Structure 1
Amino acid sequence: MRMDLTRLVSYILVVLCMTTSCSALMEGLYCGKQDCYDVLGVTRESSKYEISKAYRALAKKYHPDRYRNEDDKAEMSEMFKTVATAYEILKDDEARTDYDYMLDHPEEYYRHYYHYYRRRMAPKVDIRIVIAVTITVISAFQYYAAMFRWSSGVRYLSAQPKYRSMAMSYAEENGMLDNLRKIKKRNKEDIKAEEERIIKQVLEENIDIRGGYAKPRVIDVLWIQLLMSPYTIYLWFAWNVSWIWRFSVKKEEYGMEEKLYLIRSYLGLSSTQFEALSDAERKEFLDEELWIKENFDSWKAAKEEERKRQLAESARYKSYRRYMKKHGPGRMYFDD
């Protein structure tokens, strides 16, 4: 039954092709109603060299610049485009293979349209190269932005009297100012510039800046993070399994690291934001035992009440409340 149905479909396709003058040459594909081989005057057995030779001869013959008459120039321009199109198709092995397949199987017109426009619309550059270049640019910008923030933080600290004094004391103790004092012929500007350089050097080597202004690390850029992602995922799974085993199954006591992790999770802070907090703030969290959820909820409610109280006592907030009570919400006034 299936064989009879297949033969019937094949017979119908043949009849349709005969009654509608079915042709392998379709408008809008390749060379349109013209045969690309006929356009260049070659055959399907012609080599790439023969196709290139035929194209050069025809391109020279139909080049519009050889003609002065406008009508001739327009006609030759169309011929030149047709020859160039045929050459673009036949010089490419994959495009030529698809074209030959279309000549041999004219009934598969949907396939021909798909392959033709997929090749034309596909990007000319390998998508892997595009992705690699994009990641590289993002990584470079990421590192540059982090370095800029770090430099800005160092410049800010070097302008503060407290940190300048600490840096100069450190430089004095470690003999970094000895060479500066030996040179007496330097002018004041040079001495000041050298002092600034020493201060920045001391701060860069010794200051511990955390948070968004921390010293950038190559390991934090996107490229390295992507390369390390399998290892990172493995560590994440291993950490979660270890946590469940130690604290849910074996009921172990939390260590300092685990307590700080729970507190950070309850606060909704990233590791960078939590590291930016002062040691006194983290000590307060530990003293309050905020790794216990009930303690954290009580602490958070108390903080919220304190914030509301301070806001209610604020002169600006009182002025706003008086205005809202007098005029009401949603009203706008224009006073001269």
Structure 2
Amino acid sequence: METLAAIRWCVPTLILVVALLIQPSVSIYCEEDDCYDLLGVTQTANSSEIKKAYYKLSLKHHPDKNPDPESKKLFVKVANAYEILKDEATREQYDYAIAHPEEVFYNTARYYHAYYGHKTDTRAVLVGLILVVSGFQYLNQWTRYNQAIDMVKKTPAYKNKLKALELERTGGVTNKKKGNKQINKKMEEDLSKELELDIKGAEKPSIWELFGIRLLLLPYTLGKLLLWYGCWFWRYQVKKAPYSWEDASYLTRRSLGVPFQSWRYVDESRKDDLIERRLWEKPNMESYVAEMRKESKRRR
């Protein structure tokens, strides 16, 4: 019972303390002043009366007309009050705050949304977000690429290629001096630049692969895709022409579910064999799958 009585006493006290600490929502507009009083108009004044009152006071208290510091402060307040009351939306919010001063959080939220929410251009935010995402994407691609290059340079195959290139450059003569490490290191860097390192899954970054560039070129990409589908339909569905090697390669890769980057590393003779099987046709694909299963069981 004592605990319940203590809670009943503390709750109203806490509410009173919070109410005293929180700034009245009306004061966020014109501070301790009333916006209508600052302009010398009533709450029922129309827009033309508010505008007329503002121009009259601005001529009187403008710093160019009146050098008095107090007059300058009053001019700032008058200008702020006019900015609030000249707009129908903010004036309506201010009138609501006057009529409902107890709704502190609601009135404060409406004020900051009206004065700061609309000042941020959505298009600018969207462009900024795209640039940030593209920047992170580019940095991530370079990080992955450099890590892959470092791993490749530690492999015996890369060192053998580097050694062979060094022998080719020096005419079969190698520098066996151990004290000239800086020169050897520089030569290694120069030679490594000549080696074409094509690493699967970690290709050299390109700006054309960035999200922002792809989004910018989206209309062109869609147009090109529609044109490609149109030509495909006309050539192979209407005219019934035989598939070209490139198009047959595309159909084969799609039937096998092989990504383009992986298909690039398939041996050319293997590609020709798969294309000749015409795997995009269902019976041929079923026969190929059955053959692969038998091959897999035989190897076990």
Q: Deviations over 1:252-288 (max 9, x none)?
A: 1111101111012112333234334454653442354
Distance in 1 separating the partners of 2:122 and 2:298: 57
1:158 aligns with 2:153: yes
Distance in 1 separating the partners of 2:90 and 2:152: 72
Is the 8 Å Cα contact of residues 278 and 284 (structure 2) preserved in structure 1?
Answer: yes
Deviation of 1:192 (Å): 4.0
Distance in 2 separating the partners of 1:52 and 1:274: 75
Distance in 2 separating the partners of 1:121 and 1:300: 63
Which amino acid counterpart does residue 272 of structure 1 have in structure 2? Q
Distance in 2 separating the partners of 1:278 and 1:232: 30
Q: 1:122 — aligned with what?
A: 117
Question: After superposition, where does 1:101-250 map in structure 2 within 5 Å?
Answer: 119-120=114-115, 122=117, 124-174=119-169, 187-203=179-195, 206-209=196-199, 211-250=200-239
Distance in 1 separating the partners of 2:118 and 2:172: 60
Unaligned runs of 5+ in 1: 1-26, 62-82, 107-112, 314-336
Deviation of 1:128 (Å): 1.3
Moved more, 42-51 or 290-299: 42-51
Q: 1:303 — aligned with what?
A: 292
Distance in 1 separating the partners of 2:222 and 2:132: 25
Deviation of 1:231 (Å): 1.4
Distance in 2 separating the partners of 1:164 and 1:146: 25
Deviation of 1:99 (Å): 5.8
- Which of 36, 44, 47 is the equivalent residue of 2:51? 44
Equivalent residue pairs, number: 247
Question: After superposition, where does 1:286-325 map in structure 2 within 5 Å?
Answer: 286-304=275-293, 309=297
Is the 8 Å Cα contact of residues 136 and 223 (structure 1) preserved in structure 2?
Answer: yes
Q: Deviations over 1:179-207 (max 9, x none)?
A: x96xx8x934313422431343122xx23
Distance in 2 separating the partners of 1:133 and 1:176: 54
Aligned residue for 1:213, secondary structure, equals coil
Deviation of 1:149 (Å): 2.3
Is the 8 Å Cα contact of residues 39 and 82 (structure 2) preserved in structure 1?
Answer: no
Distance in 1 separating the partners of 2:275 and 2:247: 11
Moved more, 168-177 or 190-199: 168-177
Which amino acid counterpart does residue 220 of structure 1 have in structure 2? E
**Aligned-pair Cα RMSD in Å:** 4.6
Which amino acid counterpart does residue 140 of structure 1 have in structure 2? G
Deviation of 1:131 (Å): 1.1
Distance in 2 separating the partners of 1:273 and 1:120: 54
Q: 2:87 — aligned with what?
A: 97
Unaligned runs of 5+ in 2: 1-25, 42-49, 97-106
Is the 8 Å Cα contact of residues 134 and 210 (structure 2) preserved in structure 1?
Answer: yes
Percentage of pairs with the same residue = 26
Is the 8 Å Cα contact of residues 157 and 163 (structure 1) preserved in structure 2?
Answer: yes
Deviation of 1:222 (Å): 1.8
Q: Deviations over 1:120-178 (max 9, x none)?
A: 57353211111111111111222222222222232222222222222332344346999
Aligned residue for 1:196, secondary structure, equals helix
Distance in 2 separating the partners of 1:189 and 1:239: 56
